[in-house]
Amino acid sequence: MKQKGVPSGAALVATLLLLAHSLSAQTPTSRTEESAVRTFLAEFLSAFDNLEWDKFRNSFTDDATVFYPRGAANRANGRAQFEEHFRLVFEQIRAGRTSGPYMHLQPRDLRVQIIGNAAIVTFQLDDRPGVVNRRTLVLSKAGGVWKIAHLHASEVAVSSDEGKK
């Protein structure tokens, strides 16, 4: 005897098959998107390592916001503000040298989360002894292109053992 509101065995199997198909159909897409985000990140970090200004600046949306780890207490709002500060950063890093790479940014503990046309990328950098530099990038995808809508950089002083966890 069939209970009211309970699907039949055939309906349940059909529902489960549709659900399994929809879940399996989403997995390659999310892997493809994660791969695209990781490629974007690698290109962005390479542009930063080599102080390639145009590639670097074009990685951001026009209305991007940035919190810097040091040297600027306030949030940069929009292209004019974040470019002004990053031009100074580029000059400091370059320090009179004429060829790169100027840095060797190696993201550690990288995590990518895809949420529709947005992605959150978090990682750490070990570019100064005794300090763990944490980074969060919020990316937006428009016209098939990923760009940085927000960059949050912070640093935390740690003991040498603690920073390697």
Please state the pTM of the whole predicted model: 0.77
Task: Specify whether domain 9-164 bears CATH 3.10.450.50.
Answer: yes
- Report the pLDDT value the prediction gives residue 145, as an integer from 0 to 100: 96
C-beta contacts of 117-122 below 8 A and 24+ residues apart: 117/141, 117/142, 118/149, 119/33, 119/37, 119/146, 121/37, 121/41
Q: What are phi and psi of 42, to 5 degrees?
A: -60, -40
- Report the pLDDT value the prediction gives residue 19, as an integer from 0 to 100: 41
Query: What is the distance between the alpha carbons of residues 142 and 95, in angstroms, rounded to a whole number?
Result: 36
For the chain, domain boundaries: 9-164
Per-residue pLDDT of the chain (165 residues; tens, 9 = 90+): 545 554 555 544 444 444 444 444 445 667 899 999 999 999 999 999 999 999 999 999 999 999 988 877 789 999 999 999 999 999 999 998 888 889 989 999 999 999 999 999 999 998 778 888 999 999 999 999 999 999 999 999 887 665 555
- Report the pLDDT value the prediction gives residue 17, as an integer from 0 to 100: 42
